Amino acid sequence: MRRLSPLAGFGVVFGWGLRRLFRTKKFVWTAALAVAVGALAGLSIAGHPDAAYRLWVFLGTPALGVCIPLIALALTAGGFGEEISEQTLVFHLVRPVSRTTLFMARFVAGLGPAIAASGALCLLASILSGVPVSIATIGMGLLSAAIGTSVVGAIYYALAALFRRGLVAGLIYTFVIEGFFQFIPGSIQKLSLTHHVRSIFHRLCDADFATLSERVSGELIRGNRAVLRSNKRIEDLITPEPWSTVPHALLVCGSVAIVALLIGAWTIRRRDFALKD
Q: What is the pLDDT of residues 111-161, one digit of tens each?
A: 999 999 999 999 999 999 999 999 999 999 999 999 999 999 999 888 888
Task: Check if the beta carbon of residue 106 is closer than 8 Å to that of residue 86.
Answer: no
Average pLDDT, the chain: 81
Alpha-carbon span 212 to 194, nearest angstrom: 26
19 vs 132, higher pLDDT: 132
Contact 242, 206 (CB under 8 A): no
SS3 78: coil
Of residues 4 and 99, the one with the higher pLDDT is: 99
Do residues 21 and 110 make contact, with C-beta atoms less than 8 angstroms apart?
yes
Local confidence band at 15 (pLDDT 50, 70, 90 cut-offs): confident
pTM: 0.84
Q: How far apart are CA 22 and CA 25, in angstroms?
A: 8
What percentage of the chain carries pLDDT values higher than 70? 77
Confidence of residue 186 (pLDDT cuts 50, 70, 90): low
Give 93 or 81, the one with higher predicted confidence: 81
- pLDDT of residue 207 exceeding 50, the answer is yes
Q: What is the Cα–Cα distance from 149 to 142, expressed in whole angstroms?
A: 10
| Environment class of 43 (CB within 10 Å of its CB; exposed 0-12, middle 13-18, buried 19+) | middle
Contacts of 142 (CB under 8 A, 6+ apart): 119, 122, 123
Residue 82 has what pLDDT?
Answer: 64
CA–CA dist 60, 41 (Å, integer): 13
